[in-house]
């Protein structure tokens, strides 16, 4: 009787310790410190560090006096993510006239270009030169 109770205790303890799905969910829910810097033309650089939850959009720059709105989504496993941009005064976008970019490492540097982002699937057949108006640097 005592031997079967001890055996049941060890069996349950082993199952609880070997459940990798539960362990991964605790790691994924832990906040990630994201450090970023934004330089827009001749304006003062903006830099800060925020805590972001993986798989949830996290606001980086969204101040009332800021000309740019940035948001990042860090993918679970901390291997890349998505960066989104919206400019209030002058339209802006990333390379390829897109308002969002995907990245696959823990660091990303992206130029900010003057001009609206494309919202459709059509791509213009003419290459147009767009001036770089800023830069974003993100690390986590």
Q: In the chain, where do the E strands start and end? A: 32-40, 46-52, 58-61, 68-74, 81-87, 92-93, 100-103, 107-114, 132-139
pLDDT of residue 46: 87
**What is the structure's pLDDT at 117?**
66
- Is it the case that residue 138 has pLDDT exceeding 90? yes
pLDDT tens string 36-95: 999 988 888 889 999 999 999 999 886 555 778 899 999 988 788 999 998 887 888 998
Mean pLDDT of the chain: 78
Q: Could you tell me what percent of the chain has a pLDDT over 90?
A: 39
């Amino acid at each position: 009787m005592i031997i079967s109770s001890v055996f049941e205790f060890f069996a349950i303890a082993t199952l609880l310790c070997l459940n990798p799905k539960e362990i991964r969910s605790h790691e994924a829910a832990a906040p990630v410190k994201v450090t970023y810097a934004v330089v827009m033309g001749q304006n003062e650089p903006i830099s800060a560090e925020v805590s972001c939850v993986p798989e949830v959009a996290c606001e980086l720059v969204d101040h009332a006096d800021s000309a740019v709105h940035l948001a990042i989504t860090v993918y679970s496993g901390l291997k890349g993510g998505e960066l989104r941009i919206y400019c209030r005064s002058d339209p802006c976008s990333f390379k390829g006239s897109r308002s969002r970019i995907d990245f696959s490492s823990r660091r990303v540097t992206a130029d900010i270009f003057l001009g609206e982002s494309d919202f459709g699937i059509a791509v213009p057949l003419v290459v147009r030169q767009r001036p770089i108006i800023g830069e974003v640097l993100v690390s986590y």
